[in-house]
Amino acid sequence: MNTLRQPANPLSKALRELMESRHGKGYGSMRRLADKVQEATKCPDPYKTISRQLDGRPRWQLVEWVLDHCAPDDAEEGWRAHQAERLAGFYYSVHRERPPRYPGRLIVDGVTVEEAISSPEEARDPTTRVLLLQEEIARLQESFERGEELSARLRDQAAGLQGQLHSLQKDYATLESAHHLIRQTKQELDGLVATLQERVRTAEETAELLERRVRNAHEEANYSQAALEQKKREYEELEQRESRTRVDLAEARDIADKRYHDLDRYRQESDEAQQRLRNQIVSLERDMIELRERLRGLDSRTPNPSPPSPRPPVADTPKPRQPGHGGRRGPEYDWMRDDDDDQNHFR
């Protein structure tokens, strides 16, 4: 039974079908494809990349891996080009952009969205431009080789004609009687040699032009490759900075959570201490009331009661400074004021 999750887009579905038709059902197809990719490209652990992209939005690199390593044994000659065009349409419908390194047509639901790219100037990304430049270099190299072959044949023909000219010149000295006929033949041969020499010169100029175009194409390819490497380095540095920022944010959150829990615990301990102090004050007030009642009873049994001694002034008890308020007492912590009012009531 296939335990793979259902693909979220037509590109993932098409890639899974190609992988399973070549490497079997289930997650084993991804593992076998990852082994072939790692063996061919030395990419570290491509299995995670394959699994993550199949469950999300596959990139064109994964499409190229599947085309390279999932072709059937009996695939026809145009199998790769046909599959690349079909998968490029799925890629465009998912990403809304042309796949990199793909110069062919974009067909979505049977409709041609974009025509094939015919020159490097039409390419929108450096990798596609480099690919087209390489193809143009190959065509120029092939044309250059054909020019070399043509030049060699012309040189051979010129050498043969030159030999014929020498032979005719030797015959001219011998056949002086046919001077007019030989002169006419020589003029014709001279014209033919001039034509051949012009052709040789044209072929040499063409070969030189092709060489210059090949050099220019190599320089453009090197420039595009350098720009691509610079973009890759900038992307890697951005990923590193983003990773460090996530780590710092997680550490700051952990410290804030710990301090918040410590503050909550300190507040709870402070509330418990205040409650205990309130209970002690209430108990002391009850003891004072009972002591006053006893003193009044003694005063009533005394025949000549002495005048009451002046009550010592009550010292103002400083109210505690509550944490978390910057040393200021809020209304929820000003409980000493109510206790002072209760004491004045019993006096």
The CA distance from 113 to 88, in Å, is 11
For residues 153 and 215, membership in a common domain is answered with yes
**Domain boundary at 116, 142, 167, which?**
116
Domain membership of residue 98 (yes or no) is: yes
Residue among 10, 8, 11, 30 nearest 19 (CA): 30
Amino acid type, 46: P
Residue where one domain finishes, among candidates 219, 247, 275: 247
Is residue 347 in a domain?
no
Q: Which two tokens stand for residue 114?
A: 């974009």
Closest CA to 164 of 144, 205, 193, 197: 193
168 touches 186 (CB < 8 A):
yes
| 332 within some domain | no
Helix (H, G, I), strand (E, B) or coil at 312: coil
Give the burial string for 242-252 (b: 16+ CB within 10 Å, else e). eeeeeeeeeee
The answer to whether residues 132 and 201 belong to one domain is: yes
242 with 130, same domain?
Answer: yes
Q: In total, how many domains does the chain have? A: 2
Compute the distance between CA of residue 11 and CA of residue 89 in angstroms, rounded to an integer: 9
Instruction: Let me know whether 134 and 239 are in one domain.
Output: yes
Are 165 and 224 contained in the same domain? yes
Are 241 and 150 within one domain? Answer: yes
Clarify whether residues 59 and 142 are in a common domain: no
- Note whether 101 and 130 are same-domain residues: no
Is the pLDDT assigned to residue 14 strictly greater than 60? yes
Residues 136 and 97 in one domain: no
Asked if residue 214 has pLDDT above 70, the reply is yes
- Last residue of some domain: 231, 247, 263? 247
172 lies in which domain range?
A: 126-247
pLDDT in tens, 286-322: 999 999 998 988 877 665 555 555 555 544 444 555 4
Indicate if 38 and 112 belong to the same structural domain: yes
pLDDT digits (tens, 9 = 90+) for 119-166: 676 666 676 767 667 766 777 788 778 877 887 888 888 888 888 888
My answer on whether 88 and 191 are in the same domain is no
Residues 6+ apart with CB under 8 A from 51: 30
Angle at 98 between CA 94 and CA 102, to 5 degrees: 120
Q: Per the domain annotation, does 266 fall within a domain?
A: no
pLDDT tens string 32-45: 888 888 888 877 88
Instruction: Report DSSP letters for 129-183, one per residue.
Output: HHHHHHHHHHHHHHHHHHHHHHHHHHHHHHHHHHHHHHHHHHHHHH-GGGHHHHH
Q: Report yes or no: 200 and 158 within 8 Å, Cβ to Cβ.
A: yes
Check if the beta carbon of residue 50 is closer than 8 Å to that of residue 34: yes
Q: Is the pTM of this model over 0.75?
A: no
In a domain, 89, yes or no: yes
Residues 52 and 153 grouped into a single domain = no
